Structure 1
Amino acid sequence: MAVNLSAETKQKLMHVSVATLATALYKRGLRNQVIQDVRPVARKGHNMVGPAFTLRYMPAREDRNTLAEFRNPMHKQRQAVEQCPPGSVLVMDCRKDARAASSGDILITRLMVRGCAGVVTDGGFRDSMVIGALDMPAYHSRPSSPTNLTLHEAIEINGPIGCGDVAVFPGDTLVGDDDSIIVIPAHIVDEVADEAVEMTVYEDFVSEQVLEGATIIGLYPATEDKNLELFAQWRAAKGR
């Protein structure tokens, strides 16, 4: 499917927090967009932003998931790694089960080399210390050593999934920061990015005011005109 994420919108989303985006989505009635119980393998100090390319796992059945599957060139896990478009985020539905790994460092290194924007699972990664050292944003529930074949079967590429109790459709935009990850529906990503940028500017102003001793009453949220006047002056002075 076509991916609706412009370079301009991606750049905006690189500089806003998941918390701010969650508020912007809440204003639009979307309450359940932050992926639960999934966190960075290692903090990167910058956002992960990209359209979702999905992989769904189901419970493994022993007669279908033997070591012989490693020789199958059409295995869905490996095909997902090779098909995920550059700039996209591979998002895996592992049913919140980290008892066996969703992937390991070699496959994630392949995603990195192919130019993918990141990787997310609501299960676990093996070789997590190695993954954390890669120049590749990666998010999981916890480290997990057993191969996915012991408990999970990769069954579908790029269909709708649930990841950490959040619906993810192919082409939705994922934004991950050093705390968590949020899913933005593709059809509203531009307007949400614009609003989040504006919210971030005001939040930066508020942070400075609070550090200087200002009360939050009437300032955050802005319910007094004098604070909006101060904000306008601050913004002009800062060129923002």
Structure 2
Amino acid sequence: MNPDTRARLMTVSTATLCTALFKRGLRNQCIQDVRPLNPALPNMVGPAYTMRYIPAREDLNPIGVFLDPKHPQRVGVEECPEGAVLVIDSRKDARAASAGGILVARLMQRGVAGVVTDGGFRDSTDIARYTMPAYHQRPSAPTNLTLHQALDLNVPIGCGDVAVWPGDIVVGDGEGVVVVPAHLADEVAVEAVEMTAFEDFVQEQVMQGRSIIGLYPPTLEQSRVDFAAWRAARGR
């Protein structure tokens, strides 16, 4: 992805991105019911590489399937590109793990930007200590094989009620994860940086006791003048 776009998206919130996308008619880009295992990490930003699970069928999904070097889950972990985000469709089912600490550690060591599932991770206390962002619904001890069968890699999926196409830009922060369509990423990133500067100004003014009427949104000319002066003073 565009390195300038990546750098911009590292500095903005998912809330701001949701507003920028809403202005473009996109209302459903926030992956539902996923949370960061470590909210203190920097933003997660990268193009989506996807994995799709279907419900496991017992005769096709015994533990021996992991002996196959072409097993889709293992292949996905080894092929997810550096700088990408692995997004896993687990059908919002966290009763069995989408992956565990070893696989997530391998992603981290390969330079992947992050991992998201609408299911759960096992070894979640270990993953929470990693330096790579990871998002899930809740911890889940059972192996994925008990409920999930890995089927497809890098195809359009649904994750937390959001459609995710390979190459879409995935952004996560301390609150959640937003999917930005690839063709909108550059312009949305620029707008989000501008929105963030204005909201930082407003927050500062409100904390000093100023009313939001005429300030947020800036319907008063004085608010726009004050914002311009604030930006100039801070180099933003």
TM-score, normalising length: structure 2: 0.99
Q: Is the 8 A contact 1:44 1:137 kept in 2?
A: no
Structure 1 residue 57: deviation in Å? 0.2
Query: Matches of 1:112 and 1:158 in 2, distance apart?
Result: 19
CA-based RMSD: 0.6
Which secondary structure does the structure 2 equivalent of 1:142 belong to? coil
- Identity among equivalent pairs (%): 64
Q: Paired residue for 2:101?
A: 105
Structure 1 position 198 matched with structure 2 position 194: yes
What is the aligned residue count? 236
Query: Matches of 2:40 and 2:234 in 1, distance apart?
Result: 27
Of 220, 223, 226 in structure 1, the residue corresponding to residue 219 of structure 2 is 223
User: Which consecutive residues of structure 1, in runs of 5 or more, have no partner in the other structure?
Assistant: none
Of 155, 170, 182 in structure 2, the residue corresponding to residue 159 of structure 1 is 155
Structure 1 residue 225: deviation in Å? 1.1
Query: Matches of 1:45 and 1:216 in 2, distance apart?
Result: 31
Which secondary structure does the structure 1 equivalent of 2:128 belong to? helix
Which secondary structure does the structure 1 equivalent of 2:51 belong to? strand
Q: Is the 8 A contact 2:52 2:150 kept in 1?
A: yes
Structure 1 position 92 matched with structure 2 position 88: yes
Q: Paired residue for 1:115?
A: 111
User: Which consecutive residues of structure 2, in runs of 5 or more, have no partner in the other structure?
Assistant: none
| Aligned-partner residue type, residue 217 of structure 1 | I
Structure 1 residue 239: deviation in Å? 1.1
Matches within 5 A, 1:1-150: 5-150=1-146
Q: Paired residue for 2:165?
A: 169
Structure 1 runs (4+) greater than 2 angstroms displaced: none
Q: Paired residue for 2:203?
A: 207
Which secondary structure does the structure 2 equivalent of 1:120 belong to? strand
Structure 1 residue 45: deviation in Å? 3.4
Which secondary structure does the structure 1 equivalent of 2:127 belong to? helix
TM-score, normalising length: structure 1: 0.97
